[in-house]
Amino acid sequence: MLSGMLIAMAVALITLYLTTASISGIRVSYSPWNLPYYEMRMGIYESIRAIKYYNYPTINEPSAIYEFYENMSKIYARHGYFLVVNATENKTFLNLYELNLTFKTDRVDLEVKKYVTKY
Amino acid sequence: MYTLEALIASLIIFGVVVFAMSSSPQFGTETKEFTALQLKKYADDILEILDLENEDHSSLLSSWVEKGVKSNNWVEFDTNFSYISESLRQNLSIMLHVEVISPNGDAKHSYGPPPPEGAVSSFRVVPVSSPPYAYEVRLYLWFV
């Protein structure tokens, strides 16, 4: 009698535990979906890379960096992200650029300031 | 006494059944989101790997796009994406569609069958050596 009741309660508890465990597992794996990690990482990577790419001797067109950044903002805007990148050449150390990146969405507000070498 | 016990036991069992039933439809939509997340990860990884920098800071992807937009020669781009598409289809049952889009939004080139409604997309900004300097490569993936 009592054991039947105990087993029933145990079964109920185990079911509850297993269901919440499996759902929370999926919730956890689902949560990064809401944050644009890939887009943030790509923004920083492509901004740094543009400085090196357009300064490389075979291309050697540093002024193109700014147009690249403008167009990158347009492309990001089409996907719903606000991205503004700016790079200024350092006057003291000639092979250095100072990179300023702003990335915004409804949930993320990212500011990156970084020194990047030309080569 | 027995009646009371039976009543409690049946209440517990009823509660469990109600709980299981209420959680199951929610579980289904979460699985759908999980599939979308998985496809997004695949798309991100494909683009990221193709865009790894060479010594001259170009990449496989940027060189294919460069050839395409400069001399309208998309053979290399199409050939390589056909290999990727084929292996995705055979190994993971995933279909692929890829587009090259100019910064103003004009589609320059595309490869693969048109993506259906639920297709997941990812994008990559690649540099090229002549104006407009940046092109968007957009990759759509969906399960067959």
Write the pLDDT tens digit of every residue in B111-125: 999 999 889 999 999
Task: Indicate the pTM of the whole model.
Answer: 0.76
Compare all CA atoms of chain A with the CA of B25 and give the residue at the minimum distance.
A23
Write the pLDDT tens digit of every residue in A43-97: 999 999 999 999 888 888 888 899 999 999 999 999 999 999 999 988 888 889 9
Cross-chain CB nearest to A26 (options B34, B129, B132): B34
Mean pLDDT of A5-32: 74
**Residue B113, φ and ψ in degrees, nearest 5:** -65, 150
Helix, strand or coil, per DSSP, at residue B70: helix
Q: Other C-beta atoms within 10 Å of B59: how many? A: 21
Rounded-to-integer distance, Cα A119 and Cα A49, Å:
10
Between chains, do A53 and B131 touch, taking CB under 8 Å as contact? no
